[in-house]
Amino acid sequence: MEKLNRIWPPVLLLVVLVALWHYTVTLTQSVIFPTPGQVLDGTIELAADGTLWKHIGASLQRVATGFLLATVVAIPIGLWMGRVHAVYNTLNPVFQILRPISPIAWIPLAILWFGVGDMGPVFLIFLASVFPMIVQTANGVHTIEKRYIHAGMNFGVSRSKLFRQVVVPAVLPDIVVGMRVSLGVAWLVVVAAEMIVRSSGLGFMIIDARNAGNRYDLVIAAMAIIGIIGLLLDMMMRRLEGLDSVRWRYGH
């Protein structure tokens, strides 16, 4: 019952918004902006011929590749920065300069370096993902209670074992938070990044639909699908945050 009470308010709000959308388009008799029914028909059309699944698969593959590469790079660097003050003092200013630069600003360089294939979007997704994870991981190491470290050292625990059994478990919640933020930004960036590719992805689908006779029903369909997939990705990361091995530090 409690779960149902959490679900129906947003569902009801979505129904109201869709009804308002339909009423507004019908009332204004717009010949360009589609009704919800037209968007649904366009989505079914693309799903039936397989085009929709091709675009969704391409976007997810690019995000997964860029995000995983960022994870492999960011977590070790963040842990290193958190444990070694000299490394933190050296790298942090550089990352703080690069971090506010929008990945979209890198698009001209991505085209110059990688062309209009898959590598350009993957590079942009990597840039969008790597800095939040580095910063969050380093901050997580800095917030570890010193008594855990001191207790291990007092018992003669080696540095490597202390790192594996104390530092990494303690910072795991912060790592997952950084991953969640980075994944959300990566999914946001992939749409713009795919506007430079030749033939696939939800971002390409939006541009192609606009150019192919102003198919705004398909434009809105792609936007809705992007939002739904983003919600599902965030729900997946929230479940990861809820694991006992991740939230042990906050247990009572």
- pLDDT per residue, tens digit, the chain (252 aa), is 666 667 777 888 888 998 998 898 888 887 788 889 999 998 998 899 888 999 999 999 999 999 999 999 999 999 999 888 899 999 999 999 998 888 888 988 988 898 877 888 899 999 999 999 999 999 888 887 766 666 666 666 666 766 676 777 778 888 888 898 999 999 988 888 887 777 788 888 888 887 776 788 889 999 999 999 999 999 888 887 777 666 655 444
* pTM of structure: 0.85
Confidence at residue 251, expressed as pLDDT on a 0 to 100 scale? 47
> Do residues 59 and 116 lie in contact, with contact meaning Cβ atoms separated by under 8 Å?
no
Confidence at residue 248, expressed as pLDDT on a 0 to 100 scale? 53
Residue whose entry in the numeric block shows the structure tokens 């550089």: 94
Sign of CA dihedral 179, 184, 190, 192: negative
Confidence at residue 64, expressed as pLDDT on a 0 to 100 scale? 94
Confidence at residue 148, expressed as pLDDT on a 0 to 100 scale? 64
Confidence at residue 28, expressed as pLDDT on a 0 to 100 scale? 85
